[in-house]
Amino acid sequence: MTPAHMERRTAFEALRAGVPNRAAVLLLGSVEDAIEDRFGAGLNGVWGSEPAPGVLFTGGFGAGKSHLLGFLREVAVRENFVVSTVSISKETPLSVPLAVFSASLRNTIVPGHTDDAMTVALGALQARPAAAQALEALVSAAGSGFSPVFAAILHLLSRQLPAELLHRLEGFLSGAKLPGPALRQALGQAGVRGMFSLTGATEASLALQRERFAPLLFRAAGFAGWCVLIDEVELIGRYSPLQRARAYAELARWLGLGGAARIPGLHVAAAITDDFASQIINGRQDDEKLPDRLRLKGEPALADMALAAMRAIEAAPVLNPPTEADLARHAARLGEAYGQAYGWDAPALPVGERHARRTMRHHVRGWITQWDVLRLLGQNTEVEHGTIAANYAESAELGEASAEGDE
């Protein structure tokens, strides 16, 4: 089996499962021109004086949200961005900034490389001492908002570092704890410990600084910036009220809404279900209750950000339902690719009835199932379709995921 056949079959396995991989995304493409244009403009302006806010869109179950995020990922990779994909889950609660940041660095595509992002970036800077020195000067400048920890790491890159220390520094920049004693020892051995005061470098103070540092680091390493794609945002509907309020604020921070400072070099896109606003924001009166809850906690800035995120969800564009032309084009493209993958001439199939509850995923999986049955059993078949409602029931188990002492 040739690599091309294997790639095609991998794409169809992903489409059968309803979880698009890179091969499936490239095979089907996208028809969401307006969202693509806005996303592309945001990428182009990440280093401008006023970076654009992130992109948020909605869609029903199976409407193609994950597929579109995958397509946007390919757009960003083509533009030489380091791209991270995060799915909100029990292990990655949106209300905990460090959890989302760490997850983003675990699932990253680095153009032209197979290693993880921080390994590539630090390796590149070791080979580009002028870029490392320029970045060190930038983060050392008065008012930069960066702890001397970051300048110290950059300064050490000009020296031959033990592999273990370099690995621990990569881990810290990806979200692990700072290896303080090892870093101080390395600075002492280099005779520069007095240049960098690491006092006050607590985990809490460093958490958000890493997010601002990452795109600067990637640019210095030769990339265009950092793109983060956040999927399954609707899971926050199952959080406890206070955790949900903080999750809204975190969404606003990533997207650069409601007074949240937009991070230079970073562009974000996020997807959420299209009934979230009606079921959660309006149904539970989150927009009326949760900002006040944050204000009572002494967090007025988070309250404003949370409300901005809710307003953005209510106003977010909904993915377009497929047109007859879209369905015909996708059916023809899939049929040709199916034949290439399995060495079998896939017959043309009717696109199927279009109605509001039949998503693109329904159509695609229906065509593939019909071809599978015909190829393997020689029988024509009809496929029945159903829908799955989103589960927004609050879960105490999900609430326990927060490390912030939520109620």
Closest CA to 73 of 230, 274, 272: 230
Q: Which two tokens stand for residue 57?
A: 């869109």
pTM of the model: 0.84
User: DSSP code of 185?
Assistant: H
> What pLDDT was estimated at residue 274?
93
Q: pLDDT per residue over 112-167, tens digit each?
A: 999 999 999 999 999 999 999 999 999 999 999 999 999 999 999 988 889 999 99
Closest CA to 59 of 31, 78, 86: 31
Q: pLDDT per residue over 263-299, tens digit each?
A: 999 999 999 999 999 999 999 999 999 999 999 999 9
Edge to edge, what strands does the sheet with 55-59 contain? 55-59, 266-273, 225-231, 81-87, 108-109
Closest CA to 223 of 138, 122, 144: 122
> What pLDDT was estimated at residue 213?
97
> What pLDDT was estimated at residue 352?
65
DSSP 201-242: --HHHHHHHHHHHHHHHHHHTT--EEEEEEE-GGGGGGS-HH
Give the chain's domains with CATH numbers: 20-117+222-320 (3.40.50), 118-220 (no CATH)
Which residues in the chain show pLDDT less than 50? 399-407
Rounded CA separation 152/404 (Å): 29
Neighbours of 169 (CB within 10 A): 24
> What pLDDT was estimated at residue 371?
85
